[in-house]
A and B are shown apart, each in its own frame.
Chain A
Amino acid sequence: MEEKRWKNENPDEQKIEEILRKAGEQEEIPENLKPEQMKKFLGEHTGEKSQKSFKKWYRMAAAAASLVLVLFAGRAVWVIQNGAEKQNDSGIIKEESKQEAEQSVEENQKVAEDIPSEEVFDTSYDELYDFFQKREEEQQEFIERKQWASTKGDMENAETESAASDSATDMGQQNISQENGREEYADTNKQEEGVDEADIIKNDGRYLYQIIRNADYSGAIQIVDTQGGLTEVARIDGFDNISELYVWEDKLVLFESCWAEEAAEEKSENKVCDDVAWLGTPFQKVYVYDIEDRENPKVEHIFTMKGDYLDSRVTEGYLYCFLTNNVNNLESRTEYENYVPVLEDKAMEASSIYLPEEAQSSAYVVMVSIDLNNPEELKDIKAIVSSADRVYVTGSNIYVADSVYSERVEKEGTYSDKTNLFRFSYQNGVFRKEAEGTVKGILLDDMAINESDGYLRMAVTVHSYKKTKIIDDILGEVIGYETTNTTKDNSLYVLNQELELVGKIEGLAEEEQIYSARFMGDTGYFVTFRQVDPLFSVDLSDPENPKILGELKISGFSEYLHFYNENLLLGIGMEADEETGRTEGMKLSMFDVSNPADVKEQDKYNLSEYDYSEGLYNYKAVMIDTKKNLFGFMAEGWDGENKEDYLLFSYEDGAFQQKMKISCDRDAGGIYANVRGTYIGDVFYLMYEDGRIEAYSLADGGLLEKLSD
């Protein structure tokens, strides 16, 4: 059980988890919930209620979405229309026949002759249906076997440490933008220069945007003008669960995670809705606003897509959105929307879906593009039958990574976790599948994968295990399989554009885990940790022969690495006792990497009074602008009272300088607010999730003004 969850390194917290778990176990389960009672209860309460299909649900959700749209923009039901060819008064689209759908694809292609044509796979609905059906049967067999054998022995290795720490690695470019004579300002900290990532705050050099949370847990978007004093110019209210946002030129994009249930409730509280009260189908709404007039954001389109949000990017005016979708309804071969992804109330074309030969999941990863200059319809839609969980996007490629934690094999042998990779190229919103491949091991985090000069480099942790037969002592029959010889080490791979392995270093830091990784050009750095932190530097100049250049052993470990300039690598992490490995608060390290073969810790700065920062695990929580020589994050600690400070640093003459320390009052606005920081020119802005913003002078640290919620 422990191994299944993310690993917690902190002994105190482990203890808390343990005590809590015990407290839970001591909780008496009410008699009514015991299986026998439940059986009775179900027998009494299940009647002849008609079963509602997802479709009906989805339409309700879509209808609710269109109501929202009417309120916002006075525009009718277009929200649930995919093309302009159909409209009806009820807001419900009749099921389109396959022919009609094909026609519309043709029309789309005709219109778009000047751009690369959309890729067509030779997948058919029948093939998809047959695949999912076969898998369902396999699953069933597997479960039956497992149930039979589970009383006798451990059947399967627990899935391990899915949540490797979220630290980071970008190319070391500055997150700085200077345009139209505007002042310099901090942009979202991201993986790749020029490929924007969504976040909970945005800064465009004049306006600040943030997702705020109200005391009743509803969400809103706040737009604040920083010119001539802080003024809130707009607030868009009434969201349930906004996750992230983008600002691109005069467009604002919001993602909202929804459940069909809740959307239907919005519509009305009446009985009809109530008796179809649950479906549990997640879907995403993507709102595109025109914010040319920042005071009056106008909804241009609300896209509705079935599935869970995975990730997204914005490049050159196109929004790329990645969703995951599970297949669990195979009632009818002809009801495509039950087993292919549904976008804008329309089942995907089978020919837009790639079914890999070795597909292993009843799930899709869906890639969608939207032209932000013309957000009327989806530009391109592609899907892969895969349970991919990570995407990495460069200026021209999309890498989709599917972590496969354990093989469902009941055979003797040695197995490893692996990652299936797909490469799609993209241009002007059009996707094209280029290559696929597989490597052993699981990626640490978003920064552990990087493309340079046509080569893909990956730092992975490899778990391997052996399966052996369990033989019944008396009968001599095989009664199951058990997992033994679990090992863990780390590898670095170099792959070409065909996703073929061309170079590798394997077997690094046995029984340790990578904590952070970062690549820049021909050099890569990564950190592993047991008691001391070896910072490995790797020479990648010859893709076929990556070589370890050096290993610097220092106390503690870095969770987040960032190239400060070509000679300096910043590490934000924890100090630890060299004997016991026990953490002793946060620390900053600056590594001199001018000679990658002989890396030195040029300076370190102890922050022992702090023991946690979101920035350790979420690179977007780190504000960093190396050109401005400024970085900051919120750190938390305890010294008799709760310490929650936003810390700002620069690096001058070979030493860290603490520029500012602002005590954060996170409880003041009715919620326990997240805090982020950003700057424009010489003013630093501290942004609270409850809508408060404070402005400080970067020159003297003085509070300039406050915007209260």
Chain B
Amino acid sequence: MEEFIKCYEEVYPELYRIAYYYMRNRQEAEDAVQDAVLTAYEKRHQLKDKEKFRSWMMTILVNRCKRRMRKWFRREEDIEEISQAEEKKLIKETDFAMTSAVKQAFFQLEEEDRLIVGLSVFGGYKGEEIAGILGKNHSTVRSRYRRALQKMKKELEV
């Protein structure tokens, strides 16, 4: 348990961030992370190469999130935007408007693209790792990433 928690400690912020930015709902993201961590804990003996904990954990999370997304209805009103607390915090930043605009633009990306960009930006994963986690080929992931950023850029230029 201690060892597992130690590994978890290093990755949990990015787990939550990626889940939240993918699912666009904080409660769902929190549940997904709990779910995924529980599964990982139960399967921990399967991971012999401890160095791979991070991408292994992430793969479990991505699967959990995808499953939840399918079951969980995708109503627009469930998509959270920016909470008041967050707004307060952000307002101190001079580039608050830009930050929230970027976040909005991100939320408008397609499901798969939110994962790809999220994994890259919040988790710092390499293209090959993302391809591995998502079971996609590397160049597809790369071009989707490029396309997603282009889309965000266009969105922001309006």
Quick check: B137 and A309 within 8 Å, CB to CB? yes
Least CB distance, B63 to chain A, in whole angstroms: 6
1/0 per residue, CB under 8 A from A, across B100-139: the answer is 1011011000110000010011101111100010011111
Contact B147 A612 (CB under 8 A): yes
> Which residues from A are CB-within-8-Å of B126?
4-6, 159, 162-163
Q: Which residue of A lies closest to B4 (CB)?
A: A42
Q: How far is the CB of B150 from chain A (nearest CB, A)?
A: 5
A-B pairs with the 3 shortest C-beta distances?
Answer: A163-B127, A257-B135, A1-B124
Could you give, for residues 5-48 of chain B, a 1 whenever the CB lies within 8 Å of some chain A CB and a 0 otherwise? Answer: 10011001101110011000010001001100111011101111
Contact between A33 and B34, CB atoms less than 8 A apart: yes
A672 at the interface (CB under 8 A from B): yes
Minimum CB–CB distance from A330 to chain B (whole Å) comes to: 6
Residues in chain A near residue B46, CB distance under 8 A? 54, 328-329
Contact surface of B with A, Cβ cutoff 8 Å: 1, 4-5, 8-9, 12-13, 15-17, 20-21, 26, 30, 33-34, 37-39, 41-43, 45-52, 56, 59-60, 63-64, 67, 85-86, 89-90, 95, 98-100, 102-103, 105-106, 110-111, 117, 120-122, 124-128, 132, 135-140, 142-143, 145-147, 149-150, 152-154, 156-157
CA distance A612 to B16 in the complex (A): 31
Report yes or no: A41 in contact with B50, Cβ–Cβ below 8 A.
no
A residues near B (Cβ < 8 Å) are: 1-2, 4-6, 8, 10, 12-13, 16-17, 19-30, 32-35, 38-39, 41-43, 45-46, 49, 51, 54, 136, 139-140, 142-143, 159, 162-163, 166, 217, 241, 243-244, 257-259, 261, 277-280, 282, 308-311, 326-331, 362, 389, 611-612, 614, 617-618, 621, 636, 638, 642, 671-672
Pick the residue among B17, B34, B59 that contacts A280 (CB under 8 A): B59
CB atoms of B1 and A42 under 8 A apart: yes
Complex CA–CA separation, A349 to B143 (angstroms): 38
CB neighbours (8 Å) of B106 from chain A are 20
Are A35 and B9 neighbours in the complex by a CB distance under 8 Å? yes
Q: Taking A19-B102, A39-B5 as contacts, is the C-beta distance between A24 and B21 under 8 angstroms? A: yes
Q: List 24 A-B contacts (CB under 8 A).
A: A13-B149, A17-B121, A17-B149, A19-B98, A19-B102, A20-B103, A21-B121, A22-B99, A29-B16, A33-B34, A34-B12, A35-B5, A38-B37, A42-B1, A42-B5, A139-B51, A140-B50, A163-B126, A163-B128, A163-B142, A278-B64, A328-B47, A328-B56, A642-B154
- With A39-B1, A159-B126, A279-B43 already in contact, the answer to whether A139 and B49 are too (CB < 8 A) is yes
Measured CA separation A6–B128 after assembly (Å): 10
Please give the distance in Å from B120's CB to the nearest CB on chain A.
5
**Bound-complex Cα distance A261 to B63 (A):** 9
Cα separation A614 to B143 with both chains bound (whole Å): 6
A30 in contact with B30 given A19-B98, A38-B37, A49-B42 (CB within 8 Å): yes
Instruction: Enumerate chain B residues within 8 angstroms of A258, measured Cβ to Cβ.
Output: 135
A1 to B119, CA, bound (A): 12
Q: Which chain A residues lie closer than 8 Å to B59 at the CB level?
A: 280
Task: Give Cα A258–Cα B66 distance, bound, in whole angstroms.
Answer: 13
Q: Do residues B60 and A35 form an inter-chain contact, with CB atoms below 8 A?
A: no
Q: Which of A43, A279, A328, A331 is in CB contact (< 8 Å) with B52?
A: A328
Residues of A within 8 A of B147 (CB): 612, 614, 636
Partner of A6, one of B47, B111, B142: B142
Closest to A403 in B: B128
On whether the beta carbons of A35 and B48 are closer than 8 Å, the reply is no
User: Closest CB-CB distance, A197 to chain B, in whole Å?
Assistant: 12
Whether B124 pairs with A143 at a CB distance below 8 angstroms is: no
- Classify the interface of chain A: helix, strand, loop or mixed: mixed
**Beyond A139-B49, A328-B48, 14 additional pairs, beta carbon < 8 A:** A6-B145, A13-B153, A21-B121, A24-B21, A28-B85, A33-B30, A39-B5, A45-B38, A136-B48, A139-B50, A166-B143, A261-B67, A311-B137, A328-B56
How far apart are the CA atoms of A16 and B154 in the complex, in Å?
Answer: 11
A279 to B64 Cα, complex, angstroms: 11
Is B149 a contact of A29 with CB atoms below 8 Å?
no
Q: How far is A308 from B130 in the complex, measured between Cα atoms in Å?
A: 12
Q: A5-B124, A617-B142 are in contact. Are A278 and B63 (CB under 8 A)?
A: yes
Residues in B neighbouring A49, C-beta threshold 8 A: 42
* Contacting residue for B138 out of A34, A163, A278, CB 8 A: A163
Contacts of A20 in B (CB 8 A): 102-103, 106, 117, 121
Q: Are B34 and A41 interface neighbours, CB within 8 A?
A: yes
Q: Which residues of B contact A32 (CB under 8 A)?
A: 30, 34
Task: Write the nearest CB–CB distance from B27 to chain A, whole angstroms.
Answer: 9
- Which of A22, A39, A143, A278 is B51 in contact with, Cβ under 8 Å? A143
Kindly state the separation between the CA atoms of A316 and B138 in the bound complex, as whole angstroms: 27
Chain A nearest Cβ from B67, distance in angstroms = 8
Distance between B115 CB and nearest chain A CB, rounded to angstroms? 12
- Closest Cβ of chain B: how far from A80's Cβ, in Å? 21
Closest residue of chain A to B106, judged by CB? A20
Q: Which one of A8, A27, A42, A166 contacts B38 once the chains associate, using CB atoms below 8 Å?
A: A42
A279 to B59, CA, bound (A): 10
Instruction: State whether A143 and B50 are in contact (beta carbons under 8 Å apart), knowing that A38-B5, A166-B142, A308-B132 are contacts in the complex.
Output: yes
Q: A352–B132 Cα gap in the complex (Å)? A: 25
Are A329 and B120 also in contact (CB < 8 A) when A6-B142, A278-B63, A618-B139 are? no
Quick one: which of A162, A329, A330, A638 contacts B127, CB cutoff 8 A? A162
Q: What chain B residues lie within 8 Å of A6 (beta carbons)?
A: 120, 126-127, 142, 145
Q: Give every chain A residue within 8 A of B38 (Cβ-Cβ).
A: 41-42, 45-46
User: Complex formed: what's the CA distance from A611 to B149 in Å?
Assistant: 12
User: Which residue, of A13, A19, A54, A143, has the highest number of chain B Cβ atoms within 10 A?
Assistant: A19
User: Is B8 within 8 A of A35, CB to CB?
Assistant: yes
Bound-complex Cα distance A261 to B43 (A): 14
Most buried by B among A30, A45, A259, A621: A30
Q: Which of B30, B38, B139 has the most CB of A within 10 A?
A: B139
Tell me the bound Cα distance from A142 to B52 in angstroms: 13
Residues of B within 8 A of A19 (CB): 95, 98-99, 102
**Which residues of chain B come closer than 8 Å to A331, judged between CB atoms?**
45
Contact residues in B for A42 (Cβ distance below 8 Å): 1, 4-5, 37-38, 41
The listed residue (B17, B89, B136, B139) touching A617 by CB distance below 8 A is B139
Known: A46-B42, A163-B138. A23 touches B120 (CB 8 A): no
From A41, which residue of chain B is reached at the shortest CB distance? B34
Q: What is the chain B residue whose CB lies nearest that of A2?
A: B124
**A328 to B46 alpha-carbon distance, docked (Å):** 6
Q: What residues of B have a CB within 8 angstroms of the CB of A28 in the complex? A: 85-86
Query: What separation, in Å, do the CA atoms of A33 and B20 have in the docked complex?
Result: 13
Shortest Cβ gap from B112 to chain A (Å): 8
- Chain B nearest CB from A193 CB (Å) reads 21
User: A112 → chain B, closest Cβ, in Å?
Assistant: 32
> Which residues of the other chain, A, contact B105 by a CB distance below 8 angstroms?
16
Determine the chain B residues whose CB is within 8 A of the CB of A614 once the complex forms: 143, 147
Q: How far is the CB of B32 from chain A (nearest CB, A)?
A: 10
Q: Which residues of A contact B149 (CB under 8 A)?
A: 8, 10, 13, 16-17
Q: Please, which residue of chain A has its CB at the minimum distance from the CB of B109?
A: A672
B153 touches A16 (CB 8 A): yes
Q: Given A24-B122, A278-B43, A611-B150 in contact, is the A33-B12 Cβ separation under 8 Å?
A: yes
Query: What residues of chain A lie closer than 8 Å to B143, measured between beta carbons?
Result: 166, 614, 617-618, 621
| Smallest CB separation, B141 vs chain A (Å) | 9
Q: CB-CB < 8 A to A43: which residues of B?
A: 1
A243–B128 CB distance below 8 A: no
Q: Which residues of A contact B34 (CB under 8 A)?
A: 32-33, 38, 41
Are B17 and A4 touching (Cβ within 8 A)? Answer: no
The closest CB in chain B to the CB of A636 belongs to B150
